[in-house]
């Protein structure tokens, strides 16, 4: 099993884990929109304990939403989302965008689609450019 690394934007936090993910969900719920500032979260799931922090673990801060099993772990310097164990303790969630290489699996589904951002359908049909047009 190969290993994969991940890091935050400022580079102060980094980790490695086995490239062994069992699910990959794009979550469009309102909470994921708020916490990512974007249309959806891109969450990979792996075994609890499949993580080795290489540096910066002390810079991490975790937020647990009181009403729901919903959390975010982030670098307090740059705000990037970092991996965390679910509150149920059943899985480790790795935000796909923090990985430095490609994960072992592709996204499997889009979930909580009834809560999708009103502009998402237009976003995926919008023209693409390699940089600012
Ligand atoms: Zn950072
Ligand atoms: Zn969500």
CB under 5 Å of ion ligand 1: residues: 8, 10, 12, 75, 77-78
Length of the chain: 133
Q: What is the C-alpha separation between 102 and 83, in angstroms, rounded?
A: 16
- Which ligand number lies closest to the CA of residue 111? 2
Select from 90, 119, 89, 120 the least CA-distant residue to 26.
120
Options 2.40.170.20, 3.90.226.10, 3.10.20.600, 2.170.150.70; CATH of 3-116: 2.170.150.70
Reported as a single tens digit per residue, the pLDDT across 21-75 is 999 999 999 999 999 999 999 999 999 999 999 999 999 999 999 887 889 999 9
CA of 27 to the centre of ligand 2 (A): 4
- Which ligand number lies closest to the CA of residue 6? 1
CA of 126 to the centre of ligand 1 (A): 31
Reported as a single tens digit per residue, the pLDDT across 72-115 is 999 999 999 999 999 999 999 999 999 999 999 999 999 999 99
- Which ligand number lies closest to the CA of residue 95? 2
Cα 5 to Cα 13, 32, 33, 64, 105: the distances in Å are: 11, 23, 25, 25, 15
């Amino acid at each position: 099993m190969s290993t994969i690394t991940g890091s935050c934007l400022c580079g102060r936090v980094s980790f490695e884990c086995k490239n062994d993910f069992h699910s990959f969900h794009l979550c469009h719920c309102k909470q994921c929109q708020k916490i990512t500032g974007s249309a959806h979260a891109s969450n990979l799931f792996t075994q609890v304990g499949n993580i080795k922090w290489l540096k910066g673990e002390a810079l991490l801060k975790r937020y647990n939403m009181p009403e729901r099993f919903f959390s975010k772990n982030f670098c307090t310097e740059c705000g990037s989302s970092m991996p965390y164990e679910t509150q149920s303790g059943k899985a480790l969630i790795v935000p796909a965008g923090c990985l430095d290489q490609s994960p072992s699996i592709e996204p499997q589904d889009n979930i909580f689609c009834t809560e999708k951002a009103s502009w998402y359908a237009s976003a995926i049909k919008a023209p693409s450019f390699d940089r600012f047009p």
